[in-house]
């Protein structure tokens, strides 16, 4: 299969050379309020043979004879902001044949939950710990000053927190990463300080996919690092291709006698939503009927696929959502095109996963590799067409949001809240919130020793590291001083030894920046805060009402009190801090943006102030001289 690169002659400027007047103007605008198994997997294999064809048609690990005796390799793949039903195997419109094949021939989870934001999910996945115990309780962009630097809120993995890479290094694994990190960028905070032998890491929440450039005013540049040092990216690249290419390079450059742990957190499908034109063309017309139709279609497919009970009510659209038919013909065309780029970006990621599979087959490692594929949270609701200040920043930094060349170099792609809500169907809301649309995600575990199965029991993002270590029969030494994992191994569920590793009344809780959820039995309480929520707790029956359409707290007050009490225990035991009064995450982003840019450009601002003061004094002296001359 051929790889994908931008067309020759595309603009790749932007990087880390700054136009200070433009940045300064952007800061001023921002200041005005931008809201912007029983037997180890390592010792077993099963017959899942199928004819191997090309990359996208690669077969699952086959009936190798004899069974592999070497420890299996592990690959963890994260899609960014992909909804529960975005992958084809889960009912999505995008073509994801490589992911779908692993879902069909591995273990597919239907009741898996993450956090509602990227960094906490990544910290939980890599450590097996609740986010508040890792140091990454939320993301720095929305962190209020009252929580800065507090235990659990340092925005980097704290002392005593070990990643799966830390553990696997002691077992003789090569530990490699390529993609988004977003858990600190200072010395001691990057992947090379947390168990990774080699790493290409984006320390920001996102970046441009075609060039070395920041994507929002919060970041003065795109903080890419390689092995702890500022990285030099190619002049031309596409993020999904770059991430896979660099991982292939790391595999070639490290000891092939050792098994490997490869962590590939992609930028797809985070803002800016961008994709090669040949992929975009495949979705022409797919979304022309609008978000209401897509939302209803996914809700129906969710019932057909067993993701929700038959007849379960459809989650409501968020307040202030626009009606598709109220848009002009031009706006409908533009918004449909934005969703086409979104699907294309997901397919392009899958294409490059296929290239990576091809490489593993070529070097003889594929049959002995375990894959984990998931998403970090629900779809992104942010828009790029509703704020003059953001529009000004875009124009100063070479971005546009127009239909022409949508998804290409310089295009700042997004889908907005209505499409995000439709993508999150059958769940309510989207990223940022602990509603089902924000935290229910796909999870696929595939490889030797894993038989095709659909798993309907609960699973949490904190369960992934314990599961993988259990598959390897890896035991953390009793004298290990690292913090003990809060997640559970899902291996007994994968092997069919048990229906669930969670008892019916076990508590599972999540909190990120005030947006909270707690599950117990058939019930869930959730709280959503501003700007979309009102901060009130609500109770839902998740069997009958997985779309969280009807609050039953008034009808079931005892259950409500019981779950609220359980949440209070969770808060206490995990160090959850209260949110400031009137906290609004959108407003906090603007505040934190000013703080960060002011600190970064402090000396520029001081120099500007000195020059301005000197000019003012000079003008005053000139004025005095003129006045004196006039009267002399």
Are 290 and 102 in contact by the 8 Å Cβ rule? The answer is no
Q: What is the band of 319 on the pLDDT scale with cuts at 50, 70, 90?
A: confident
Based on the residue annotation, tell me whether 574 is a catalytic residue of this protein: no
Q: ∠ at Cα 335 (35, 379), nearest 5°? A: 60
The candidate with the shortest Cα–Cα distance to 180, out of 139, 131, 217, is 139
pLDDT tens string 105-158? 999 999 999 999 999 999 999 999 999 999 999 999 999 999 999 999 999 999
Based on the residue annotation, tell me whether 182 is a catalytic residue of this protein: yes
Write down the pLDDT at residue 623: 82
Write down the pLDDT at residue 65: 53
Write down the pLDDT at residue 449: 92
Phi then psi for 24, rounded to 5 degrees? -60, -40
Residue 554 has pLDDT above 70, yes or no: yes
Of the listed ranges 537-546, 566-575, 610-619, the least confidently predicted one is 610-619
Residue 305 has pLDDT above 80, yes or no: yes
Q: Which of 36, 118, 299, 352 is catalytic?
A: 118
* Phi-psi group of 59: left, alpha or beta (phi > 0 → left; psi -120 to 50 → alpha; rest → beta): beta
The candidate with the shortest Cα–Cα distance to 300, out of 289, 314, 286, is 314
Are 138 and 168 in contact by the 8 Å Cβ rule? The answer is no
Give the count of alpha carbons within 13 A of 552, CB side only: 16
Higher pLDDT, 47 or 206: 206
Q: What is the band of 629 on the pLDDT scale with cuts at 50, 70, 90?
A: confident
* ω into 426 cis (within 30 of 0): yes
The model's pTM: 0.87
Are 358 and 245 in contact by the 8 Å Cβ rule? The answer is no
CA–CA gap between residue 342 and residue 347 (Å, rounded):
9
Q: What is the band of 27 on the pLDDT scale with cuts at 50, 70, 90?
A: very low
CA–CA gap between residue 622 and residue 357 (Å, rounded):
73
- Indicate the DSSP class of residue 473: T
Are 338 and 406 in contact by the 8 Å Cβ rule? The answer is yes
CA–CA gap between residue 262 and residue 260 (Å, rounded):
6
Instruction: Tell me what the pLDDT averaged over the chain comes to.
Output: 89
The candidate with the shortest Cα–Cα distance to 595, out of 148, 225, 158, is 148
CA–CA gap between residue 81 and residue 379 (Å, rounded):
5
Q: Which of 132, 167, 182, 359 is catalytic?
A: 182
pLDDT tens string 484-524? 899 999 999 999 999 999 999 999 999 999 999 999 999 99
For CA atoms 143, 145, 150, 156, give the dihedral sign.
Answer: positive
pLDDT tens string 374-425? 999 999 999 999 888 889 999 999 999 999 999 999 999 999 999 999 999 9
pLDDT tens string 59-102? 444 444 555 578 999 999 999 999 999 999 999 999 999 999 99
Of the listed ranges 13-22, 82-91, 349-358, 387-396, the least confidently predicted one is 13-22
Give me the percent of the chain exceeding a pLDDT of 70: 88
Write down the pLDDT at residue 388: 84
Write down the pLDDT at residue 54: 36
pLDDT tens string 268-289? 999 999 999 999 999 999 999 9
Pick the CATH number of 20-503 from 3.20.20.60, 3.30.70.260, 3.40.720.10, 1.20.120.450: 3.40.720.10
Higher pLDDT, 511 or 613: 511
Give the count of alpha carbons within 13 A of 567, CB side only: 25
R_g (Cα) of the chain, nearest Å: 25
Residue 341 has pLDDT above 50, yes or no: yes
Map out the domains of the chain as residue ranges.
Answer: 20-503, 601-631
């Amino acid at each position: 299969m051929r790889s994908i690169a931008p067309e020759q002659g595309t603009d790749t400027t932007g990087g880390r050379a700054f136009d200070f007047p433009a940045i300064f103007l952007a800061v001023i605008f921002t200041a005005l309020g931008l809201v912007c198994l029983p037997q180890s997997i390592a010792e077993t294999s099963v017959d899942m043979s199928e004819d191997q064809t090309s990359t996208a048609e690669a077969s699952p690990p086959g009936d190798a004879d004899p069974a592999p005796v070497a420890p299996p390799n592990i690959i963890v793949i994260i899609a960014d902001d992909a909804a529960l039903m975005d992958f084809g195997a889960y009912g999505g419109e995008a073509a994801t044949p490589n992911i779908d094949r692993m879902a069909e021939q591995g273990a597919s989870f239907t009741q898996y939950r993450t956090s509602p934001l990227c960094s906490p999910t990544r910290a939980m996945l890599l450590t097996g710990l609740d986010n508040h115990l890792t140091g990454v309780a939320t993301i720095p962009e929305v962190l209020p000053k009252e929580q800065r630097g507090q235990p659990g809120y340092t925005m980097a993995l704290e002392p005593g927190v070990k990643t799966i890479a830390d553990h696997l290094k002691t077992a003789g694994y090569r530990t490699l990463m390529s993609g988004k990190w977003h858990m600190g960028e200072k010395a001691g905070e990057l992947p090379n300080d947390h168990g990774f032998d080699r790493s290409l890491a984006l320390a920001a929440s996102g970046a441009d996919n075609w060039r070395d450039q920041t994507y929002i005013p919060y970041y003065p540049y795109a903080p890419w690092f390689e092995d702890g040092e500022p990285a030099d990216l190619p002049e031309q690249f596409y993020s999904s291709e770059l991430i896979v290419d660099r991982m292939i390079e790391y595999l070639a450059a490290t000891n092939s006698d050792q098994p490997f742990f490869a962590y590939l957190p992609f930028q797809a499908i985070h803002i800016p939503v961008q994709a090669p034109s040949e992929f975009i063309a495949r979705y022409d017309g797919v979304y022309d009927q609008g978000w209401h139709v897509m939302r209803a279609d996914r809700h129906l497919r969710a019932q057909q696929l067993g993701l929700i009970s038959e007849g379960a009510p459809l989650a409501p659209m968020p307040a202030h959502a626009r009606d598709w038919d109220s848009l002009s013909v031009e706006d409908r065309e533009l918004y449909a095109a934005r969703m086409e780029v979104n699907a294309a970006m997901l397919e392009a990621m899958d294409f490059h996963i296929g290239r990576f599979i091809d490489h593993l087959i070529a070097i003889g490692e594929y049959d002995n590799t375990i894959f984990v594929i998931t998403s970090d949270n629900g779809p992104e609701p942010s828009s790029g067409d509703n704020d003059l200040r953001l529009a000004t920043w875009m124009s100063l930094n070479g971005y546009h949001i127009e239909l022409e060349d949508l998804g290409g170099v310089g295009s700042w792609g997004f889908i907005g809240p209505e499409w995000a809500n439709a993508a999150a169907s059958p769940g309510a809301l989207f990223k940022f919130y602990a509603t089902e649309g924000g935290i229910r995600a796909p999870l696929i575990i595939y490889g030797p020793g894993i038989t095709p199965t659909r798993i309907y029991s609960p699973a949490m993002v904190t369960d992934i590291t314990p599961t993988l270590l259990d598959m390897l029969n890896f035991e953390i030494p009793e004298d290990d001083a690292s913090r003990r994992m809060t997640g559970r191994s899902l291996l007994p569920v994968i092997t069919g030894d048990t229906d669930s590793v969670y008892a019916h009344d076990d508590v599972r809780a999540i909190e990120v920046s005030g947006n909270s959820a707690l599950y117990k039995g058939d019930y869930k309480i959730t709280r959503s805060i501003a700007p979309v929520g009102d901060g009130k707790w609500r109770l839902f029956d998740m069997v009958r009402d997985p779309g969280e359409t009807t609050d039953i707290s008034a009808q079931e007050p005892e259950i409500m009190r019981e779950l609220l009490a359980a949440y209070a225990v969770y808060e206490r035991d995990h160090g959850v801090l209260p949110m400031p009064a009137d906290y609004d995450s959108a407003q906090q982003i603007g505040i934190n943006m000013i703080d960060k840019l002011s600190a970064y450009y402090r000396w520029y601002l001081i120099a500007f102030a000195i020059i301005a003061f000197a000019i003012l004094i000079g003008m005053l002296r000139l004025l005095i001289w003129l006045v004196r001359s006039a009267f002399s």
